[in-house]
Amino acid sequence: MKIVLDYLEKNKARYTRELCDYVRFPSVSAQPKHKKDLAACCQWLLKHCKEIGLEARLCPTEGNPILVAKTPRKKGSKKQHFVVYGHYDVQPPEPLELWTTPPFEPRIKGRSLFARGASDNKGQNLAHLKAVEAYIKTGTELPVDLTFVIEGEEEVGSKSLAGFLNANRDELLCEAVVISDTGMPALNLPALTYALRGILSMEIRLEGPNRDLHSGIYGGSVDNPAMALCQLMGKLRDKDGRVAIPGFYKGVAELSAMERKEFKRIPMNEKEYCEFMGVPKLFGEKGYTSLEQRTARPTIEINGLTSGYQGEGSKTIVPAWASAKVTFRLVPNQDPAHIRVCLLKYLEKICPPTVRMHVKVGHGGQPYIVSPTSGMAKAALKTLKAAFGHDPLLMREGGSIPIVTQFKKVLLADSLLLGLALPDDNAHSPNEKFSLDCFEKGMKMSALLWQELAKV
Ligand code: BES
Ligand code: ZN
């Protein structure tokens, strides 16, 4: 292994430059104008994988292409097979004015590389590719067979990948899927994540008058869709942070005493946490700590509200319509299909007759939980300790990776979630960054992981 680790060490400056090239692509999957950039980013990955010595191909889909790259293997190889999953698409960078430097012009400051996608998820999946490069280029035999699957639609619900898994099931059957697309609390607190929240997204649009109306001439005699929407939204959550939709909490699994104890190992200072986010006071469901609230309890969030005049100065109107983009985060054992039915029923009941309501249900993903005590989990924990030099934590995460439940269903494979993102990496926010320490330690972790997993 020394030769592999030495190779990683010697080549780290070039690796950082390559990560800079990777993040230069504005591969924003939510915005149709970037379709070509997603294709170009995937082409870059393809070329890169071939240069590393992987057998790589690009699989077109109805959406963005999927990159598949395999380590060289003998026909009928008896080695264990693992899939490494990641995504090359990124979240929209807006609002642009809040970026210190442009989102797709990478900048290194100290030990951080700033760019949209640096940590979510390009830096994390590149770390795995680079570890394999070190094996191949030093002529070191990998103790396992690997197939990389890097997709371009994770940030919009992984629509094409589910079908792709079914169509390519035989090729992708594996012991487990290794994913670095979550976080770790600090550089000295590496973590194995064993649960993710699910998600259900929707857009609720209320339509009122057939055009914006003069609010002086008509206001008071016609309902205001923006006001009606606020009232509607206000009825979705109570003052204690609980979702107010009847049936919403059906099936919610409570935290075990063991989990609550393990969670307490994660350092938490309420004042610092408030300062970090810039809020005057925390908010959340009673009876749960902040960490529990944001990882193991379900929520509803408004992600965007639009209505009326948004330009400079004032415009006195009753807007014709108002719309809200909303997402739920779901926990084991909530079912997105059931939540959807409950929500639609409730909205129908509370929507006033003075507006017309249109609900567009968007992407969804089931919550995920896996045993943190399996042989593979133990191998992962051992690797984390060796790579980071600190005892790892067992964690739940509040974010979602919708495809993990499909990996389980279609490939019958659990996911090993070994996140490399730090809490201040600004995922989905302006000034996203990735720590070069996490990048380097992540490569080391990946290189060591295959040795440990081969022994399980
Ligand atoms: N990397 C995140 C998921 C994540 C982040 C999990 C932090 C745990 C901790 C991923 O790229 C992501 O943002 N997923 C979306 C999925 C959605 C758009 C379907 C999410 O969670 O909002
Ligand atoms: Zn993301």
C-beta atoms surrounding 8 within 10 Å:
20
> Given ligand 1 and candidates 89, 121, 181, which is best to mutate, with the most ligand atoms within 8 Å of its CB?
181
State how far the Cα of 361 lies from the Cα of 364, in Å rounded to an integer. 9
Asked whether residue 46 carries a pLDDT value surpassing 90, the answer given is: yes
DSSP for 315-335? --EE-SEEEEEEEEEE-TT--
Whole-structure pTM value: 0.94
Of the pLDDT bands very low, low, confident and very high (cuts 50, 70, 90), residue 313 is very high
Which residue has a Cα nearest atom 20 of ligand 1?
400
Pairing, β 81-87 against β 145-151: parallel
Does the structure show a pLDDT above 90 at 73? Answer: yes
CB atoms within 10 A of CB 354: 12
Specify whether the CB–CB gap between 423 and 183 falls below 8 A. yes
> What does the pLDDT look like over 128-180, one tens digit per residue?
999 999 999 999 999 999 999 999 999 999 999 999 999 999 999 999 999 99
pLDDT score, position 363: 87
Q: What pLDDT score was predicted for residue 399?
A: 97
Strands (E), 152-223: 176-179, 191-196, 198-207, 213-214
**How confident is the model at residue 60, as a pLDDT?**
98
Task: Determine whether domain 199-252+298-365 maps to CATH 3.40.1390.20.
Answer: no
Whether the CB-CB separation of 303 and 270 falls below 8 Å is answered with no
Same fold, 2-196+367-453 and 199-252+298-365: no
pLDDT score at 265: 87
Compute, in angstroms, the gap from residue 182 CA to the centroid of ligand 2.
9
Predicted local distance difference test score (pLDDT) of residue 137: 98
Interval between CA 151 and ligand 2 midpoint (Å) = 13
Q: For residue 152, how far is its CA from the centre of ligand 2 (angstroms)?
A: 11
List the structure tokens of 363: 């992407």
Q: In which band, very low, low, confident or very high, does the pLDDT at 202 lie, cut at 50, 70 and 90?
A: very high
The residues facing 176 across adjacent strands are 82, 414
Residue pLDDT, tens place only, 74-123: 999 999 999 999 999 999 999 999 999 999 999 999 999 999 999 999 99
Q: What ranges do the domains of the chain cover?
A: 2-196+367-453, 199-252+298-365
Establish whether residue 259 lines the binding site of ligand 1, counting it when its CB lies within 6 angstroms of any ligand atom.
no
Residue that the structure tokens 């030495």 belong to: 6
Q: Ligand 1: does its nearest atom lie under 6 Å from the Cβ of 199?
A: yes
* Residue 327, CA distances (Å) to 49, 159, 303 in order: 35, 17, 7
What pLDDT, on the 0 to 100 scale, is given for residue 418? Answer: 98
Tell which residue, 294, 357, 362, has the closest CA to residue 327. Answer: 362
> Cβ(161)–Cβ(67) under 8 Å?
no
Mean of pLDDT values over 428-440: 98
Residue 95 zone, left/alpha/beta (φ > 0; ψ -120 to 50; rest): beta
Q: What is the pLDDT of residues 219-229, one digit of tens each?
A: 999 999 999 99
Q: What is the chain's mean pLDDT, rounded?
A: 97
By DSSP bridging, strand 107-109 and strand 112-114 are antiparallel
Q: Residue 433 corresponds to which tokens in the numbers above?
A: 């960054």
Bin 16: left if φ > 0, else alpha if -120 < ψ < 50, else beta. alpha
Per-residue pLDDT tens digits for 241-291: 999 999 999 999 999 999 999 899 888 999 999 999 999 999 999 999 999
CA distance 427 to 430: 8
d(CA 118, CA 433): 6
Question: Residue 155 carries which DSSP code?
Answer: G
Would you say the CB of residue 432 lies under 6 angstroms from ligand 1?
A: no
CB burial of residue 155 (10 Å; 0-12, 13-18, 19+): buried
Q: Closest ligand 1 atom, CA of 193? A: 8
Structure confidence at residue 324 as a pLDDT band (50, 70, 90): very high
> How many whole angstroms from 123 Cα to the centroid of ligand 2?
12
Distance (angstroms) between ligand 1 centre and the Cα of 401 equals 5
Q: Which residue has the tokens 């004032």?
A: 314
DSSP classification of residue 97: G
- As a 3-state breakdown, the chain gives helix, strand, coil percent values, each rounded to 5, of 40, 25, 40
Q: Are residues 297 and 288 in contact, defined by beta-carbon separation less than 8 angstroms?
A: yes
Q: What pLDDT band is residue 48 in, cutting at 50, 70 and 90?
A: very high
At the fourth CATH level, the homologous superfamily of domain 2-196+367-453 is Zn peptidases (3.40.630.10)
Instruction: Choose the residue to mutate in 124, 155, 194, 295 for probing ligand 1, maximizing ligand atoms within 8 Å of C-beta.
Output: 155
Task: For residue 101, give the 3-state DSSP assignment.
Answer: coil
Whether the per-residue pLDDT at 27 is higher than 90: the answer is yes
Distance CA 191, CA 179 (A): 12
Q: Are 274 and 282 in contact (CB under 8 A)?
A: yes
Angle at 150 between CA 165 and CA 129, to 5 degrees: 130
Sign of CA dihedral 139, 145, 151, 157: negative
pLDDT-derived band at 53, boundaries 50, 70, 90: very high
Q: Are 303 and 325 in contact (CB under 8 A)?
A: yes
Residue whose CA lies nearest to ligand 1 atom number 4: 399
Helices and strands in the chain, H and E counts: 14, 18
Atom of ligand 1 nearest to the CA of 365: 19
pLDDT of 356-388, one tens digit each? 999 999 988 999 999 999 999 999 999 999 999
